[in-house]
Amino acid sequence: MTRPDKRAPDALRPVTIETGLQRNPEGSVLYRCGGTSVLISASLEDGAPRWMDTPGHGWLTAEYQMHPRCNPRRQHREGRRGSIGGRTAEIQRLIGRALRSCVALEDLGDRTITIDCDVLDADGGTRTASVTGGFVALAIALDRLVKDGSVRTGILRTPIAAISVGLLKDAPILDLCYLEDRDAEVDLNVVGTGDGAFVEVQGTAEGAPVPRAQLDAMLDLALGAMPELIASQKAALESVGVNLDRLLEKP
């Protein structure tokens, strides 16, 4: 089986992480992997949501939106005709949960962080790109708070990244592009850390149920890719003067 872009089954698409495209957000990232690009901003606001009743604790939430022309055919601008769809709701909840797990919210103070993910081009993997790129935007924003003394180092608990794996003709492949995603028998999205632990696992057998051994192989493939993704995040952070290791340091 040959992949459309000749990649090995366990190879990632090329990742580029550009920062600062937007001036206003505390963290701004344009994350690209292959034909997918997502514009991500991390915004800091004073005040926690009203439903929280734990003073001094902060919150993090995410919004995800497809640009109407992120696909070969233009689609309606979501939200203009009623409300957001189920897929969008599901994805932005995943991004929010994943990135909340990296932050020591109990020490964030009465702050809300919002991660906005706008998909500019979609070629598979937009939700995992949002998580992986979202981590970079989040770290840039938190670094600012650490540097001005508003929060302690270690407010960021651990780096995380996300990637998709699939099963195509019974063989596991990493980081599916749209064409592969469309044909895959299984679509599994994994959010993980650099040292082999899981933050979120979400997989669906589109066709026949998947034996345990194949699930294991797919989980291995996803976990194996985390160090490379986290290295990309680290490099992007360094380029804007954020030292990830110092940010993670326990105070």
**Contacting residues toward a copy of itself, per CB under 8 A:** 21-25, 35, 37, 39, 41, 43, 45, 63, 65, 67-74, 77-87, 89-90, 92-93, 97, 101, 114, 116, 118, 120-121, 157-158, 160, 188, 192-193, 196-212, 215-216, 219, 223
Paired strand residues for 191: 162, 200
d(CA 6, CA 158): 33
Q: How far is the CB of 249 from a copy of itself (least distance, A)?
A: 17
Write down how long the chain is.
251
Q: How far is the CB of 162 from a copy of itself (least distance, A)?
A: 12
Q: Which is nearer to a copy of itself, 5 or 238 (CB)?
A: 5
Q: Which is nearer to a copy of itself, 170 or 238 (CB)?
A: 170
Q: Which is nearer to a copy of itself, 37 or 128 (CB)?
A: 37
Q: How far is the CB of 202 from a copy of itself (least distance, A)?
A: 5
Q: How far is the CB of 246 from a copy of itself (least distance, A)?
A: 21
- Radius of gyration of the chain, Cα coordinates, nearest whole angstrom: 18
Residue with tokens 């003073």: 55
Strands 36-46 and 59-66, by their bridges, are unpaired
Q: How far is the CB of 126 from a copy of itself (least distance, A)?
A: 13
Q: Which is nearer to a copy of itself, 14 or 79 (CB)?
A: 79
Asked if 102 and 60 count as a contact pair (C-beta separation under 8 A), the reply is no
Residue with tokens 């066709």: 207
Residues 6+ apart with CB under 8 A from 58: 48, 103, 105, 108, 109, 110, 111, 112, 113
User: Which candidate, 176, 189, 173, places its Cα nearest to that of 122?
Assistant: 176
Burial classification of residue 8, based on how many CB atoms lie within 10 Å of its CB (0-12 exposed, 13-18 middle, 19 or more buried)? exposed
Q: Which is nearer to a copy of itself, 189 or 232 (CB)?
A: 189
Asked if 19 and 240 count as a contact pair (C-beta separation under 8 A), the reply is yes
Q: Which is nearer to a copy of itself, 208 or 238 (CB)?
A: 208
Work out the number of other CB atoms within 10 angstroms of the CB of residue 198. Answer: 13
What would the two tokens of residue 6 be? 């000749």
Q: Which is nearer to a copy of itself, 188 or 244 (CB)?
A: 188
Which residue type is seen at 246? R
